[in-house]
Amino acid sequence: MRSPFSCSFLLPALFVALSHLAAGCTRTAGGASALAGLPPRCSLDGGPCDPRPAAAARLELGGFRGLATGAGGATYVAGTLRLPTRDFDGTPLTTAGGVDVFVGRYDASTAKAKWVRRVGEAGIQEPTGVAVTDEGTVVVVGHFEGFLRGDAVSLVSPTSAGADFLLGFRGSDGKLEWGQVFDDGAEGSLISIAAVPGRDRFAVCGWASQAATGLVPGATFHGGSRDAVVAMFDGGGKRRWSQQIGGAGMDTCDAVTVDAAGDVYAAGRYNKSFSFGTSPLPEPGRDYNQWIWLARLDGRSGEVISHAVLPGAGPQYPTSLAVAPDGQLILGGMMNNSLDVGGDAGTLLGAGYTDAFVARLDPRSSPPFAARWAVRLGGPSVDGARSVAVDPYGDVAGAGFFTVFTTGAADLQAEMPGTDAFLLMLDGATGATRSALSYGDPDTQTAERVAFGRDEHGKLYLALGGEFTGNVRFGELQPMSGTGGATFLVFER
């Protein structure tokens, strides 16, 4: 996997968990239309608001790369397919050699596959994310070498170092309808994708190690090792706008999301000079320091509307963004030593090598992106948040991994000597912990993606995806075995 957030000790395996949310009492934040048909919000008066696992499926993938939810409980999964032949609810898939792209649609009420697809040829074809638009276009982003073929679509990498791709599938049956290829340089990678609410559009972001003129016509390379790239496309794969942004060092875009008005939010890292046109950012001072940049871009033109910096001591990694119903921005990631999120939250201090963090930021504050709250979760070893999501009440789910034990937002104990997955539920208004769960055994388990959706009856559910070896169990469901690597899908309600 080309993502910089992979941990070398993780073995290739996957899970996806989806569950119905616990019911309880009162709040109606987010508006009546957003909350119509939902159960009452869980009350902490009766104890933690733990999601209740409802159904699960074990997938045979080599790596978990994407999770998205659509209408009627449709839940889309992207990952890597490896040898030998794998069976997905009676559909056998075999790679063409090396690593192939897997994409599938699963049902939220049964955790069964409606359709699954393999796309690839000999060599490496690896997805990095998936999104589904309101029109039902399922888009997979990733990187490949050689050829990438499926249905009537045929893509060829312009260089031996490979290229980035976009693949557009029909959500109803998985037919591959279009594909795009971009040469973003030998070290380039598109790493994050998000659909535009209410439109057949999506945004992507990543980085380029050259002038990425195929993705950003007329682009120039700003020097150093990488530039950040952000782009908007329609559901047919047509580029609407794109930006290449950078400075003299290593500059990345690691997470992207889109609000209800169509504006794009992006977050990345930089370690030297970095500039949005005539607006240079403060420099971290040492190559080792990697500070987080945040930007809001006009969804129609890509123009940068506002931006901010979250400095810290050491490398800081944004991994995921989500927008709350009230327009507030949720940022999750991995922090080293200390991270200054500013605003009402101040500075987070780490407990060990790397901690997970989740922060709620105000895009329209002055200065922009002031933190309303921020929490960390970690202990003496390597811990991190991989993904965040927001439910219609505005409450936040964070997913990731931890080793040994954690302090901060929750006290969790891992099954040593391996790494366990965690699911953290936070109050959207205050950041208070509503629920904290861990999953694992003495082997390795991580949570990689989390998402909310509504099933065919309009009920809210939670989707959690990750990687595991050994055994993993969700509530009263039967435990799953990940001998040699596996994936699973669990619905929580």
* Cβ contact 5:386 at 8 Å: yes
* Cβ contact 140:103 at 8 Å: yes
Owner of token pair 């069976």: 87
φ/ψ (deg, to 5) at 272: -140, -135
DSSP, res 39: P
Residue 18: the pLDDT is 46
Q: What angle do CA 252, 255, 260 make, to 5 degrees?
A: 135
Enter the tokens of residue 160. Answer: 């031996």
In the chain, domain spans: 16-492
**Chain centroid offset of residue 194 CA:** 9
Rounded to an integer, what distance in angstroms lies between the CA atom of residue 252 and that of residue 346? 24
Residue 41: the pLDDT is 76
Q: Which amino acid makes up residue 288?
A: Y
Rounded to an integer, what distance in angstroms lies between the CA atom of residue 485 and that of residue 59? 10
Residue 5: the pLDDT is 39
Rounded to an integer, what distance in angstroms lies between the CA atom of residue 462 and that of residue 424? 12
* CA torsion through residues 236, 238, 244, 250, sign: positive
Rounded to an integer, what distance in angstroms lies between the CA atom of residue 325 and that of residue 480? 35
H/E stretch holding 315 reads: none
Residue 491: the pLDDT is 73
In terms of C-beta density within 10 A (0-12 exposed, 13-18 middle, 19 or more buried), how is residue 366 classed? exposed
Owner of token pair 């070498």: 145
| DSSP letters for 397-443 | EEEEEEESB-EES---B--TTSEEEEEEEE-TTT--EEEEEEE--SS
Write out the chain's pLDDT in tens, 493 residues: 344 433 333 333 344 444 545 433 333 333 444 555 566 777 777 677 888 898 888 888 988 999 999 999 999 999 999 888 888 999 999 999 889 999 999 999 899 999 999 999 988 999 999 999 999 999 999 999 999 999 999 999 999 999 999 999 999 999 999 999 999 999 999 999 999 999 999 999 999 999 999 999 999 999 899 999 999 999 999 999 999 999 999 999 999 999 999 999 999 999 999 999 888 899 998 778 999 999 999 999 999 999 999 999 999 999 999 999 999 999 999 999 999 999 999 999 999 999 999 999 999 999 999 999 999 999 999 999 999 999 999 999 999 999 999 999 999 999 989 899 999 999 999 999 999 999 989 998 999 999 999 999 888 999 998 888 888 888 889 888 876 666 666 678 7
Rounded to an integer, what distance in angstroms lies between the CA atom of residue 221 and that of residue 210? 5
Rounded to an integer, what distance in angstroms lies between the CA atom of residue 475 and that of residue 342? 38
35 three-state secondary structure: helix
* Cβ contact 400:446 at 8 Å: yes
Specify the fold of 16-492.
Answer: Methylamine Dehydrogenase; Chain H (2.130.10)
Residue 205: the pLDDT is 98
Rounded to an integer, what distance in angstroms lies between the CA atom of residue 117 and that of residue 103? 5
E-strand spans in 23-93?
52-59, 63-69, 74-81, 86-88, 91-93
Could you tell me which of 394, 352, 395 has the C-alpha nearest to residue 377? Answer: 352
E-strand spans in 235-369?
239-245, 251-258, 264-270, 275-276, 279-280, 291-297, 304-310, 312-313, 317-323, 329-335, 338-342, 346-349, 355-362
Half-sphere exposure of 77 (CA within 13 A, CB side): 41
Give the other-Cβ count within 10 Å of 290's Cβ.
23
Rounded to an integer, what distance in angstroms lies between the CA atom of residue 389 and that of residue 396? 6
Rounded to an integer, what distance in angstroms lies between the CA atom of residue 396 and that of residue 359? 10
Residue 98: the pLDDT is 86
